Structure 1
Amino acid sequence: MIRVLVVDDQEVVARAHRTFVDRVPGFTTVSIARDGAAALERIRRGGVDLVLLDLTMPGMSGLDVCRTLQTYPEPPDVIMVTAARDLESVRTAVRHGVVHYLIKPFTFAALRGKLDVYASYRAAAAGQRDVTDQGEIDAALAALRGSSEASLPKGMSRETLSAVRSALIAAPEGLTALQAADVVGTSRVTARRYLEHLVAGGGCEREPVYGRAGRPELRYRLRPAT
């Protein structure tokens, strides 16, 4: 479970962000901090993997928090959230170790896409598992670098692909297209398209499931590490 600290000086916004985070499988909000000093104090106590950090706050700004975190031996990662839209703010945030940048207001789908990719990147970087395919590495690095999604086939989104990967990771026994669709919240046809994309990239394998009359159903699962 990836432990998240939500930092925002507006109580309503902070609670909304907490609700978003807690809806994403594999993530949980451990606390809310209303200013930079409180955020640093909570981080010093340990048990924080990722900070969802507001840029503009009274007193200590989000960038000030990031500068201080760079002096810590094992600082958590940071996703900056802000209404600031100037590129200089983005560049400054990246220079201070921010792994991603979200413009307020953002949707649950936008945040989930970033968190899903972050989870895949974190797991691979920590050696907890092999990445599913080259596309997963590209997706993770693209998200962290702010690259485009041009490498995906037309009509496919990075967020949905990440959600399908997460569903497969959570189901080592494998999923049918219908089961994947139920988990991700899309149609069976769409889920199958993404699953077949992962098969083509070597990230997962498919096998027929017999037992019912008629055409066998296909089950998809992550390809085992070799």
Structure 2
Amino acid sequence: MTLRVLVVEDDPVAADAHALYVTRVPGFEVAAVAHSRAEAVRALDEQPRVDLILLDLYLPDGNGLALLRSLRAAGHTADVFAVTSARDLTVIREGVSLGVVQHVLKPFTFRSLSDRLRRYADFRMSAEAHGEAVSQDEVDRALSVLRAAPPSSALPKGLSTGTLDTVTSALREQGEAGLTASEAAERIGVNRITAGRYLEHLATTGRAHRRQRYGHVGRPEHHYVWRR
């Protein structure tokens, strides 16, 4: 299912950029663009479905969180990414209490937003596929998908963010077919040991499943599948 996004941003140039970013991420489309609180309310009333709102917190005719509060009271259940230059943690906490699932600080890059959109899509797919969690671990794994990727300084020694992103993309593209270290190495142009280290990191951080694949000869290989 394609996820429909309402972009709410008072700056026309920024609004166009944010809408363009959304359209560049597979599985997402722009439902409408609004430049004010009034336009956002009208768009939500007119659109058949909005799954996600990219919500600027500072609008010419009212605060974004006040808009969100009124939308919730009116029964609108779309998820929200708060897009803001505000660093005030009290504002962030209020957003969380109103159901904001991500805070994206301005200025941001396409990569920063696309990563969060992909994680949001994974979270939606996981929730809709499994329906009901059977354990605390499953709840924790589902929520962890929404969290931003760790900064490069938090990666194990010898791993880089760039290569991790490349391995992650290759694994995601394979879907349920998954990859072994040998297959990943061939796809991205690194040696098998290096590919294996990145795949193991994805498995140990809960972003991929690790399984055994038995071949015709030799010891079984680890087989990795992106966790949905």
- Name the aligned partner's letter for residue 62 of structure 1: G
Once the two structures are TM-superposed, the CA of residue 10 in structure 1 deviates from its matched residue by 0.7
- Is 1:9 aligned to residue 10 of structure 2? yes
Contact 1:199 1:205 survives alignment (8 Å): no
Q: Distance in 2 between matches of 1:170 and 1:36?
A: 41
Q: Which of these residues, 171, 174, 177, is aligned with residue 178 of structure 2?
A: 174
Which residue of the partner structure matches residue 37 of structure 1?
Answer: 38
Are the structure 2 counterparts of residues 141 and 14 from structure 1 closer, same or farther at C-alpha, using a change threshold of 3 Å? Answer: closer
Contact 2:167 2:198 survives alignment (8 Å): no
Contact 1:209 1:219 survives alignment (8 Å): no
Q: Which of 53-62 and 198-207 deviates more? A: 198-207
Per-residue Cα deviation, 1:194-215 (whole angstroms, up to 9, x for no partner): 32334556614464889xxxxx
- Is 1:194 aligned to residue 201 of structure 2? no
Report the number of matched residues.
Answer: 210
TM-score, scaled relative to structure 1: 0.72
TM-score, scaled relative to structure 2: 0.71
Per-residue Cα deviation, 1:168-207 (whole angstroms, up to 9, x for no partner): 26633335315764xxxxx646665332334556614464
Matches within 5 A, 1:202-213: 203-205=209-211, 207=213
Are the structure 2 counterparts of residues 103 and 150 from structure 1 closer, same or farther at C-alpha, using a change threshold of 3 Å? Answer: same
Which residue of the partner structure matches residue 184 of structure 1?
Answer: none
Once the two structures are TM-superposed, the CA of residue 124 in structure 1 deviates from its matched residue by 1.7
Contact 2:4 2:30 survives alignment (8 Å): yes
- Name the aligned partner's letter for residue 14 of structure 2: V
Q: Distance in 2 between matches of 1:75 and 1:136?
A: 23
The percentage of counterpart residues that share the same residue type is: 35
SS of residue paired to 1:39: helix
Q: Which of these residues, 108, 111, 114, is aligned with residue 113 of structure 2?
A: 111
CA RMSD of aligned residues (A): 4.1
Q: Which of these residues, 136, 140, 143, is aligned with residue 145 of structure 2?
A: 140
Are the structure 2 counterparts of residues 103 and 166 from structure 1 closer, same or farther at C-alpha, using a change threshold of 3 Å? Answer: farther
Q: Distance in 1 between matches of 2:170 and 2:75?
A: 30
Q: Distance in 2 between matches of 1:168 and 1:3?
A: 21
